[in-house]
């Protein structure tokens, strides 16, 4: 349930190299704890992602583990991982929602 | 859509510029959208063409080729006046800005890209009607070697384009421009005929100068044409033009080019003979000559010669030699030249440009050789920062360039390989692939991916998306299949995302896609393909989806794989049965639930998401289907948990669709044991509970009935309970059973239930029954509208209309809520396309006067037509609405539909309509929004850039709000970009719309980018906007790079200053953030504490608002509630003032104490101080007021002082007055005008000290200045008389008489006499007069008395008394005038008339004012004026009199 009172444990990741997609992000962050959601928006026009991503953990522990690790290096690139301050309220996509 | 626009040309009422613009081609790159020119003022900086002193210093190292010619320009043009610049300061600024942009590029990289130049070119063309000479110069100059990435021919072409375009726009070229063009020719090795060029200049009446000739010589020499050069040289000589080093340098080249290297060499000797020392350029010219020949020995010798001649050749000087060597095919000598390089500081950028130039000219191997010999980072510690190891990324610039110029994939791959193997670059392939994908170079991308595979680096499906997306966009199926094949070759299987977003959309349907894939020999079994198929089916065919999913062979698929698509598919409501089946499947089949999750939770969560994703509009439009859906779910025993129920209920409530809540409520834990209901309360309605309750109720009913007790209320309850369950049958049974006991509410409930269940017949029956029972009762609006709605839905329009008529007859009053209900009814009918029904109902509603026609109520009609795709009908309907109800329904929807349909004719009609009714401007905006909405941005841009168009704030904000609400960010962004140059457009507001959106979506990067854009636009954002930006940044844990500590409501905050000093946003400096992750985690902590403070501005402002409305107590209460809110001093003072003026001194002081405790340096404002003094004085606490005055460091206002002194006097506080006197002495306040003396006297009298009073007064009257203040004394007398203070009267009259007798001061006696008269003590007055005859001679005082009294109605008696006592103190006319005024004041027309006649008879001269006054009176009493009425107004005469008096007084003073 997406009740606003419910705690979310999300990190906001930036500086993601173009070679990574949602799957890789999910897999990488799974090492810190079970990942509930991972949203890496893509530009439909260009086919490239936008360079940032939200990763939601199921538990606070996962979140903390992810935040404690530094640096986050993935395929030679340093990811910038920070706590997502406000839970992402993604735009309601009218055409097709992307969930994974 | 271009055709569409063209059609608008024919429009008669066509707006200003739409016609003309349709033809022009606008090719601003998308980047330009949010780019901007300067609006505000900038420092003047470089705005003339004398660039050399400014940019030359800063960028001479990177502006190598221009420095020289810039100097020459300066020579050439310095003498020239340039008035145009002074006249057009804006252009100068724009030029400055363009220059700054180019300059920064040159500074950073030593080059300009074609895109940059084009952008500025377009910019200048658009902005300046007459591009200035400077701009032209800037553009031309850039078309040379500053663009190493552009082939030489293209550069010349570009220069010509610029030249012609600007000339067209009205730029006047002078010699500097021609010289610049020549330089560009030389740099681009452009072959042209110098004589033609000269002829061209002559034709343009431009005189060539020395520089022109020099360059023409150079041009001849470049081609080895010594004769040509000599001709010009001879001409220069004969014209006494100095032959400079540059000429000799050219000659060196010329001879060499002519093959005569010896002569070339000899030039150096000639130079020496002419007293000119060969410079580096001379040696370089010679070096080039040898290089061309591949003569390494002479190269070396020449370099040594230069060295020994103390002419040092720097790296940059030698670079052209390398190009020459490479061009001439003598690559083998290049290493020798490279050895010579000293790798000075500027080497790298210069060498980069060298590499780019070489590559552009097809000499990429040389370029790569130079690249590989770049001074390595490892060897150059100065290039390394201390603690970070820079990953070697050598050559990215060159790789990018190679891709851009379409170099063959083999070659690029080879370079990548070399770079990788030489470890100069860790990931050249990935980088190059990125560039190749960005530029959508398929062959190269695939080649690079092959390399990746060989390197054992992963290739991922999304690598192919950039290649697929253009094909999908063009629906190029073959292209898609081609890419898929290559994927297959690389053994990459397309995953579901790839298929869903980048493959299937290119095909008409999934089957076609599968067919194509199959034909291409691809496997259809992959997981991705399956998921994509599921998604596609979810979108388009729910029945098939159900079949597929319920097939036991269907693999385990988490719902999340296709949830989004399923929601979209569900929202279509095309197949409710399948929807139910799918939900059922989800709730029962474990294959679709994530591990560890209850299945029925999966379906319930999905329901929640489904509702969540619907908009209010969608919910209302599909209410019936939703209900059907829920009911069927219930039948299938699908259940939701109370939690989910609550969530859905909240959503429905927020959509104003609470009527659906019940239907969802019926699903709560259906089929589960009731003990599974934690915390089951009355807020939700588990079916069982209702059931048992109804059962109990019915039992009670039966019991009561048997006892013959009244049971109306209980019956109603029971029926309502059944209604809540939609149990119509039982409810009707109950009705039947207890027919006699049925009350109106019970009927109403039943009717409502019937309507909800669409059982119109029953509803009407019930209504008839009710009327039969009691014809006087009337249903409320709600039920009526429900009935009308049900009838209309069943197409029983006539009956519906009859019902509406009945409503009118029965005078049913419609509330606002009913009005909304009406709208929802009409809207849902409209959504079903029932246009005629909607119109009929609207007609009836409005003609009956049930509701007033509003745009909102009218709009469903348009919706209905649009829904039916009857756009011309919609347009006609809009026109009817306007005619009938004088309401213009928004044509936005119509236009959007028309644009989408591409119906040009209709759109033209719509435009005509909108233009006729609302004006062209409004129509333009309609059109603009329609284009924006439909994503036709180019057209939208054309519209909004129509000359003469002005911003319409309300419309723009309407559209912005619409975009924000419907999450259409792209149109909004586009609009913000396009309106940049819109006249009177509030840029700050435009940006704040976007910020508001970014706040919602938390896109702080975008917000920061926006801020940068605002700076670019030279926009000074408002505080509110900055605050919002700061909030977004803070919310995301970002540093706020500007100062917002001042709250926005402090008007004094100088926003402009803050912004200018603000550094650029900090996002570009990520390193500190990486290094310090721990503070990052803690960052949110203070954020939470800041929670209330972010609320504060909104709390302070309502308090201020209340204060301003003088609602002091409410403000105070709110203030007390908002305990810790940070009030500023100003607000504190405001609150204090309001409280004081209300008389709440105590509260005010309490607030003041709080203020002091919060703001130590808090001071009550002057106004607050004054108010305090006045209020306390009024409350009789004059001493407090005095204290306050003593504490305050400023002088209270005159009013406050007067009040204070008055109060002190009245309370007999002489010392208090003295203190005040002491305090104000010598301060700005004029002591004399203060009632201090009088008040002191009064104070004495009050305190019983008559002696003291007399003393004060005596001193006052004997003062020769006292005459100037006549006011005080009468007041003292007046007071004594009023107080009946005989003793004081005696004393003072004695004093007055003494003064008259001894000092001939008659003022006191006269005053006393008049006061006696005024107090009706006529006898005393008589005695007074008898004792002091002189009083009768005090004409001025007496006339003043007359004057005073005649102004107040009812004072005629006093005047008459005075006249009876002293008959002839003034002229008759004067007396008459005042008496007349009395009559007029008393509205005593007859007396006035009598006086007029008498006055006339007496032969006196009646003054004009009196005549005028009298005339007014005559007219007031409806009589004709018997004399010539003065034309001027009374006010005029009064002013005249005043002026005369003043003049008189002045004259007297002079004499």
Q: Is the CB of A6 inside 8 Å of chain B's CB atoms?
A: no
- DSSP string for B871-935: HHHHHHHHHHHHHHH------HHHHHHHHHHT-HHHHHHHHHHHHHHH-HHHHHHHHHHHHHHTT
Q: How far is CA B186 from CA B324, B580, B995, in A?
A: 15, 77, 50
Helices B1372-1385 and B1339-1350 cross at an angle (nearest 10°) of 20
Instruction: Please give the pLDDT value at position B403.
Output: 93
CA B458 from chain centre, in angstroms, equals 45
Give me the mean pLDDT over the B446-459 stretch: 91
- Of A51-55, B612-616, B1277-1281, least confident by mean pLDDT is B1277-1281
Question: Does B683 or B513 have the greater pLDDT score?
Answer: B513
pLDDT, one tens digit per residue, over B144-159 is 888 999 999 999 999 9
Instruction: Please give the pLDDT value at position B274.
Output: 86
Question: Does B236 or B1377 have the greater pLDDT score?
Answer: B236
> What band does A7 get if pLDDT is binned at 50, 70 and 90?
low
Instruction: Please give the pLDDT value at position B670.
Output: 47
Measured between beta carbons, the chain B residues lying within 8 angstroms of A24 are 460
DSSP code for B391 = P
Cβ–Cβ below 8 Å for A82 and B567? no
Cβ–Cβ below 8 Å for B438 and A48? yes
A79 beta partners: A72
Q: Is the CB of A85 inside 8 Å of chain B's CB atoms?
A: yes
* Residue A29 scores a pLDDT above 90: yes
Cβ–Cβ below 8 Å for B644 and A80? no
Q: In the structure encoding, which two tokens stand for residue B671, read together?
A: 């089929």
Give me the mean pLDDT over the B1161-1180 stretch: 76
Q: How far is CA B586 from CA B79, B275, B628, in A?
A: 86, 97, 19
Checking phi first, is residue A12 left (phi over 0); if not, alpha (psi -120 to 50) or beta? beta
> Could you give the CA distance from residue B1259 to residue B1248 in angstroms, rounded to a whole number?
19
Strands (E), B757-881: none
Nearest Cα to Cα of residue B937 among B118, B20, B33, B16? B33
Measured between beta carbons, the chain A residues lying within 8 angstroms of B655 are none
> What band does B88 get if pLDDT is binned at 50, 70 and 90?
very low
Which of B647, B1002, B1074 lies closest to A1 in CB terms?
Answer: B647
Counting one residue from A and one from B, how many pairs have CB atoms under 8 Å apart? Answer: 121
- Strands A72-74, A53-57: pairing is unpaired
* Residue B1107 scores a pLDDT above 60: yes
**Are residues B175 and B205 in contact, defined by beta-carbon separation less than 8 angstroms?**
no
Residue to test with chain B: of A22, A58, A96, most B Cβ within 10 A: A96
SS3 B576: helix
Q: How far is CA B1113 from CA B65, B586, B1105, B1108, B1137, in A?
A: 76, 59, 13, 12, 12
Q: How many CA atoms lie within 13 A of B43 on its CB side?
A: 4
Nearest chain B Cα distance for residue A32, angstroms: 16
Residue B1338's Cβ-count burial label (10 Å; 0-12, 13-18, 19+) is: buried
> What band does B1023 get if pLDDT is binned at 50, 70 and 90?
low
Nearest chain A Cα distance for residue B496, angstroms: 11
> Could you give the CA distance from residue A37 to residue B1132 in angstroms, rounded to a whole number?
49
Q: Is the CB of A3 inside 8 Å of chain B's CB atoms?
A: yes
Cβ–Cβ below 8 Å for A47 and B563? no
> What band does B57 get if pLDDT is binned at 50, 70 and 90?
very low
Nearest chain B Cα distance for residue A45, angstroms: 6
**Are residues B715 and B743 in contact, defined by beta-carbon separation less than 8 angstroms?**
yes
Whether pTM exceeds 0.80: no
A9 beta partners: A57
Question: Does A77 or B1278 have the greater pLDDT score?
Answer: A77
> Could you give the CA distance from residue B1365 to residue B1329 in angstroms, rounded to a whole number?
8
pLDDT, one tens digit per residue, over B859-878 is 888 888 888 888 888 888 88
Nearest chain B Cα distance for residue A43, angstroms: 10
Q: In the structure encoding, which two tokens stand for residue B1292, read together?
A: 């003072």
Q: Is the CB of A34 inside 8 Å of chain B's CB atoms?
A: no
A42 beta partners: A49
* Residue B549 scores a pLDDT above 70: yes
- DSSP string for B294-332: T-HHHHHHHHHHHHHTT-PPPHHHHHHHHHHHHHTT-GG
pLDDT, one tens digit per residue, over B475-519 is 888 888 889 888 888 888 888 788 888 888 888 777 788 788 787
Instruction: Please give the pLDDT value at position A49.
Output: 92
Compute the Cα dihedral for B53, B54, B57, B60 and give only its sign.
negative
* Residue B689 scores a pLDDT above 60: no
Q: Is the CB of A99 inside 8 Å of chain B's CB atoms?
A: yes
Measured between beta carbons, the chain A residues lying within 8 angstroms of B464 are 47
Residue to test with chain B: of A34, A70, A72, A85, most B Cβ within 10 A: A85
Q: In the structure encoding, which two tokens stand for residue A62, read together?
A: 């996962």
Q: How far apart are the first and last CA of chain B?
A: 90
Cβ–Cβ below 8 Å for A97 and B565? yes
Q: In the structure encoding, which two tokens stand for residue B627, read together?
A: 């209900």
Q: Reading across the β-sheet that carries A9-14, which strands appear in turn?
A: A35-39, A53-57, A9-14, A77-83, A72-74
Q: Which residue of A has its CA nearest to B602?
A: A1
> What band does B1272 get if pLDDT is binned at 50, 70 and 90?
low
Q: Which residue has the tokens 């509930």?
A: A36
Cβ–Cβ below 8 Å for B1073 and A80? yes
Percent composition of chain B: helix, strand, coil (DSSP 3-state, to 5): 70, 0, 30
CA B447 from chain centre, in angstroms, equals 48
Nearest chain B Cα distance for residue A59, angstroms: 15
> Could you give the CA distance from residue B827 to residue B819 in angstroms, rounded to a whole number?
12
Instruction: Please give the pLDDT value at position B442.
Output: 92
Give me the mean pLDDT over the B1374-1392 stretch: 81
- DSSP string for B467-478: HHHHHHHHT-HH
Q: Is the CB of A15 inside 8 Å of chain B's CB atoms?
A: yes
Give me the mean pLDDT over the B808-823 stretch: 82
> What band does B407 get if pLDDT is binned at 50, 70 and 90?
very high
- Of B12-26, B82-96, B410-424, B1156-1170, least confident by mean pLDDT is B12-26
A49 beta partners: A42
* Residue A51 scores a pLDDT above 80: yes
DSSP code for B55 = I
Compute the Cα dihedral for B845, B850, B854, B859 and give only its sign.
negative
Element (H, E) at A10: strand A9-14
Nearest chain B Cα distance for residue A55, angstroms: 15
SS3 A9: strand
* Residue B1019 scores a pLDDT above 80: no
> Could you give the CA distance from residue B619 to residue B157 in angstroms, rounded to a whole number?
60
Nearest chain B Cα distance for residue A10, angstroms: 12
Q: Is the CB of A100 inside 8 Å of chain B's CB atoms?
A: yes
> What band does B1128 get if pLDDT is binned at 50, 70 and 90?
confident
Measured between beta carbons, the chain A residues lying within 8 angstroms of B535 are 96
């Amino acid at each position: 349930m997406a009740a606003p009172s419910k705690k979310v444990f999300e990190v906001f990741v930036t500086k993601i190299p173009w070679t990574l997609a949602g799957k890789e992000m999910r897999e990488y962050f799974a090492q810190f704890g079970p990942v509930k959601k991972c949203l890496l928006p893509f530009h439909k026009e260009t086919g490239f992602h936008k360079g940032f991503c939200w990763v939601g953990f199921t538990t606070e522990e996962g979140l903390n583990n992810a935040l404690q690790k530094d640096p986050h290096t993935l395929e030679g690139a340093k990811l910038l991982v920070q706590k997502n301050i406000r839970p992402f309220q993604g735009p309601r996509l009218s055409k097709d929602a992307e969930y994974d | 859509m271009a055709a569409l626009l063209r059609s608008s040309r024919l429009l008669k009422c066509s707006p200003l510029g739409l016609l003309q613009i349709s033809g022009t081609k606008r090719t601003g790159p998308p980047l330009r959208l949010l780019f901007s020119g300067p609006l505000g003022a900038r420092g003047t900086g470089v705005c003339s063409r004398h660039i050399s002193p400014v940019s030359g210093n800063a960028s001479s190292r990177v502006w190598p080729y221009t420095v020289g010619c810039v100097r020459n320009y300066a020579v050439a043009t310095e003498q020239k006046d340039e008035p145009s610049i002074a006249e057009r300061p804006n252009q100068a600024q724009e030029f400055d800005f363009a220059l700054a942009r180019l300059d920064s590029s040159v500074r950073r990289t030593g080059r300009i890209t074609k895109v940059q130049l084009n952008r500025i070119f377009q910019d200048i063309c658009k902005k300046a009607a007459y591009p200035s000479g400077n701009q032209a110069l800037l553009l031309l100059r850039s078309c040379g070697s500053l663009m190493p990435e552009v082939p030489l021919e293209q550069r010349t072409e570009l220069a010509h384009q610029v030249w012609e375009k600007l000339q067209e726009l009205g730029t006047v070229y002078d010699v500097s421009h021609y010289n610049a063009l020549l330089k560009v020719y030389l740099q681009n090795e452009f072959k042209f005929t110098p004589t033609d060029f000269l002829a061209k200049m002559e034709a343009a009446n431009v005189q060539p100068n020395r520089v022109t000739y020099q360059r023409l010589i150079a041009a001849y020499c470049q081609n080895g044409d010594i004769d040509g050069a000599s001709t010009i040289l001879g001409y220069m000589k004969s014209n006494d033009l100095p032959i400079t080093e540059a000429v000799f340098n050219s000659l060196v080249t010329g001879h060499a080019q002519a093959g005569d290297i010896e002569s070339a060499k000899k030039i150096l000797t000639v130079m020496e003979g002419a007293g000119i020392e060969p410079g580096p350029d001379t040696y370089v010219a010679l070096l080039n000559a040898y290089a061309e020949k591949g003569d390494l020995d002479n190269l070396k010798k020449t370099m040594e010669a230069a060295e020994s001649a103390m002419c040092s050749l720097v790296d940059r000087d030698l670079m052209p030699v390398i190009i020459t060597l490479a061009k001439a095919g003598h690559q083998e000598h290049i290493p020798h030249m490279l050895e010579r390089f000293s790798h000075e500081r500027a080497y790298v950028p210069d060498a980069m440009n060298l590499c780019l130039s070489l590559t552009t000219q097809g000499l990429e191997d040389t370029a790569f050789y130079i690249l590989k010999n770049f001074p390595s980072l490892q060897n150059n510690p100065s290039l390394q920062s201390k603690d970070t190891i820079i990953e070697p990324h050598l050559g990215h610039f060159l790789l990018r360039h190679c891709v851009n110029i379409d170099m063959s994939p083999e070659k690029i791959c080879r370079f990548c390989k070399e770079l990788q193997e030489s470890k100069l670059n860790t990931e050249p392939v990935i980088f190059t692939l990125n560039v190749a994908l960005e530029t959508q170079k398929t062959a190269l991308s695939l080649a690079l991916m092959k390399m990746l595979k060989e390197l054992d680096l992963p290739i991922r499906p999304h690598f192919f998306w950039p290649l697929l997306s253009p094909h999908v966009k063009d629906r190029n199926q073959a292209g898609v299949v081609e890419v898929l094949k290559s994927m297959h070759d690389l053994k990459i299987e397309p995953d579901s995302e790839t298929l869903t977003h980048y493959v299937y959309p290119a095909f008409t349907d999934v089957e076609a896609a599968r067919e194509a894939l199959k034909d291409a020999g691809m496997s259809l079994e992959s997981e991705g393909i399956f998921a994509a198929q599921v998604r596609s089916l979810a979108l388009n065919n729910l029945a098939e989806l159900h079949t597929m999913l319920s097939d036991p062979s269907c693999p385990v698929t988490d719902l999340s794989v296709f949830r989004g698509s399923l929601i979209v598919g569900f929202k279509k409501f095309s197949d409710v049965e399948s929807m139910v089946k799918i939900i059922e499947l989800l709730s029962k089949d474990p294959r679709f639930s994530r591990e560890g999750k209850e299945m029925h939770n999966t379906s319930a969560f999905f329901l929640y998401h489904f509702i969540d994703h619907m908009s209010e509009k969608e919910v209302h439009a599909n209410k019936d289907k939703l209900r059907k859906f829920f009911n069927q779910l219930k039948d299938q025993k699908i259940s939701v948990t109370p939690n989910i129920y609550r969530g859905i209920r909240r959503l429905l409530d927020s959509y104003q669709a609470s009527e659906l809540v019940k239907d969802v409520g019926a699903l709560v834990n259906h089929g589960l044991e009731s003990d599974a209901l934690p915390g089951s309360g009355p807020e939700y309605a588990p079916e069982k509970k209702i059931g048992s309750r109804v059962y109990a109720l019915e039992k009670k009913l039966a019991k009561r009935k048997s006892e013959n007790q009244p049971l109306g209320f209980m019956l109603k309850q029971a029926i309502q309970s059944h209604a809540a369950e939609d149990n119509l049958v039982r409810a009707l049974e109950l009705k039947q059973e207890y027919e006699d006991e049925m009350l109106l509410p019970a009927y109403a409930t039943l009717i409502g239930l019937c309507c909800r269940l669409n059982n119109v017949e029953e509803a009407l029956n019930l209504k008839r029954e009710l009327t039969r029972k009691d014809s006087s009762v009337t249903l409320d609006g709600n039920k009526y509208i429900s009935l009308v709605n049900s009838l209309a839905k069943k197409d029983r329009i006539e009956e519906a209309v009859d019902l509406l008529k009945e409503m009118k007859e029965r005078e049913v009053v419609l509330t606002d809520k009913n009005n909304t209900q009406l709208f929802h009814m009409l809207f849902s009918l409209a959504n079903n396309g029932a246009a005629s029904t909607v119109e009929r109902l609207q007609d009836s509603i409005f003609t009956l006067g049930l509701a007033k026609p509003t745009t909102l109520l009218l709009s469903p009609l348009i919706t209905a037509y649009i829904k039916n795709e009857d756009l011309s009908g919609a347009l006609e309907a809009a026109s009817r609405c306007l005619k009938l109800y004088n309401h213009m329904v928004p044509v936005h929807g119509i236009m959007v539909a028309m644009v989408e349909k591409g119906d040009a004719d209709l759109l033209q009609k719509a435009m005509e309509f909108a233009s006729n009714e609302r004006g062209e401007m409004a129509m333009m905006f309609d059109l603009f929004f329609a284009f924006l909405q439909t994503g036709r941005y180019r057209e939208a841009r054309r519209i909004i850039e129509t000359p003469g168009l002005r911003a319409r704030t309300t419309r723009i904000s309407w559209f912005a709000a619409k975009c924000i609400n419907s999450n259409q960010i792209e149109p909004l962004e586009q609009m913000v970009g396009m309106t940049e140059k819109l006249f009177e457009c509030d840029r700050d507001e435009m940006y704040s719309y976007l910020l508001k959106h970014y706040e919602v979506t938390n896109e702080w990067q975008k917000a920061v980018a926006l801020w940068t854009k605002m700076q670019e636009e030279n926009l000074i954002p408002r505080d509110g906007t900055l605050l919002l930006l700061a909030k977004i940044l803070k919310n995301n844990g970002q540093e706020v790079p500007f100062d917002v500590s001042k709250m926005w409501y402090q008007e004094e905050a100088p926003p402009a200053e803050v912004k200018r000093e603000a550094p650029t946003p900090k996002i570009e400096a990520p390193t500190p953030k990486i290094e310090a992750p721990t503070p990052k985690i803690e960052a949110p902590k203070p954020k939470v504490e800041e929670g209330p403070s972010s609320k504060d501005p909104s709390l302070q402002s309502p308090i201020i608002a209340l204060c301003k409305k003088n609602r002091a107590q409410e403000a105070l209460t709110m203030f007390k509630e908002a305990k810790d809110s940070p009030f500023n001093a100003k607000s504190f003072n405001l609150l204090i003032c309001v409280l004081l003026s209300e008389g709440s001194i105590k509260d005010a002081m309490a607030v003041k104490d709080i203020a002091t405790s919060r703001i130590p340096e808090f001071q009550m404002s002057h106004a607050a101080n004054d108010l305090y003094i006045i209020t306390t004085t009024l409350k009789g606490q004059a001493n407090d007021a005095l204290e306050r005055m003593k504490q305050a460091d400023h002088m209270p206002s005159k009013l406050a002082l007067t009040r204070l002194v008055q109060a002190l006097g009245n309370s007999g506080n002489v010392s208090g007055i003295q203190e005040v006197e002491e305090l104000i002495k010598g301060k700005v306040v004029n002591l004399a005008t203060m009632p201090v003396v009088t008040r002191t006297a009064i104070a004495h009298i009050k305190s019983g000290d008559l002696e003291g009073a007399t003393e004060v007064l005596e001193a006052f009257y004997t003062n020769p200045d006292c005459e100037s203040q006549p006011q005080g004394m009468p007041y003292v007398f007046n007071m004594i008389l009023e107080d009946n203070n005989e003793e004081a009267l005696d004393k003072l009259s004695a004093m007055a008489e003494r003064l008259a007798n001894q000092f001939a001061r008659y003022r006191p006696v006269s005053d006393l006499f008049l006061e006696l008269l005024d107090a009706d003590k006529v006898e005393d007055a008589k005695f007074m007069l008898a004792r002091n005859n002189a009083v009768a001679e005090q004409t001025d005082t007496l006339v003043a008395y007359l004057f005073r009294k005649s102004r107040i109605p009812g004072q005629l008696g006093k005047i008459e008394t005075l006249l009876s006592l002293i008959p002839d103190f003034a002229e008759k006319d004067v007396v008459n005038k005042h008496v007349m005024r009395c009559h007029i004041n008393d509205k005593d027309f007859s007396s006035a008339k009598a006086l007029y006649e008498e006055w006339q008879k007496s032969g006196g001269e009646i003054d004009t004012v009196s005549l005028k006054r009298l005339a007014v009176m005559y007219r007031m009493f409806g009589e004709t004026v018997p004399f010539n009425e003065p034309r001027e107004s009374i006010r005029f005469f009064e002013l005249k009199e005043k002026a005369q008096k003043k003049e008189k007084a002045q004259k007297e003073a002079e004499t």
